[in-house]
Amino acid sequence: MRVDIQGLERDPMLRGRVGRLVGAALETIKAAPVRARVTFFDDDGPKGGLALRCAVDLRVPYRPPIHIEHVAATPRLAFDGVMAALERQLERYRERARENRRHPKKYFVAKRLLMDGTNADPAPKRVRRRKVAS
């Protein structure tokens, strides 16, 4: 998997943190993401205020792309907001996958129910008797 980080050329500490945390969060997905792009940019330029935006674009096979954005006063706060939203999104994917795996086939369930009933109280076997012509 490749993590592209754009807009953090002057902050190597945050750049390392971004790569480490995004990589760790994406390890939990069963289908490996093809590409993750983290972009930082300033909406207002040098004016100041809540204008630093962090955006994450994530491409996962067989699923629609994930796009998350967060705006904050500093790049680190913006990234923390994006990571919280990304973890919630990935948790939803894990829950959905877990629910889809928990639906066993009907014959498997029927067999389990029959086995549980025979082990608890063995029923006497019915013997078929031939009818005698009179």
Q: What does the domain layout of the chain look like in residue ranges? A: 2-119
Q: pLDDT of 20-66, one tens digit each?
A: 888 888 887 777 667 889 999 888 766 666 788 999 998 888 888 89
* 107 vs 6: which has the higher pLDDT: 6
Cβ-contact 3, 23 below 8 angstroms: yes
In angstroms, the CA 38 to CA 80 distance is: 12
Predicted TM-score (pTM) of this structure: 0.68
Look at residue 123 in the predicted model and tell me its pLDDT: 61
For 109-114, the CB contacts below 8 A with 24+ separation are none
From 3.30.365.10, 1.10.3720.10, 3.30.160.100, 3.30.200.210, which CATH number describes the 2-119 domain?
Answer: 3.30.160.100
Q: How many CA atoms lie within 13 A of 123 on its CB side?
A: 8
In angstroms, the CA 101 to CA 97 distance is: 6
Phi, psi for residue 110 in degrees, rounded to 5: -65, -40
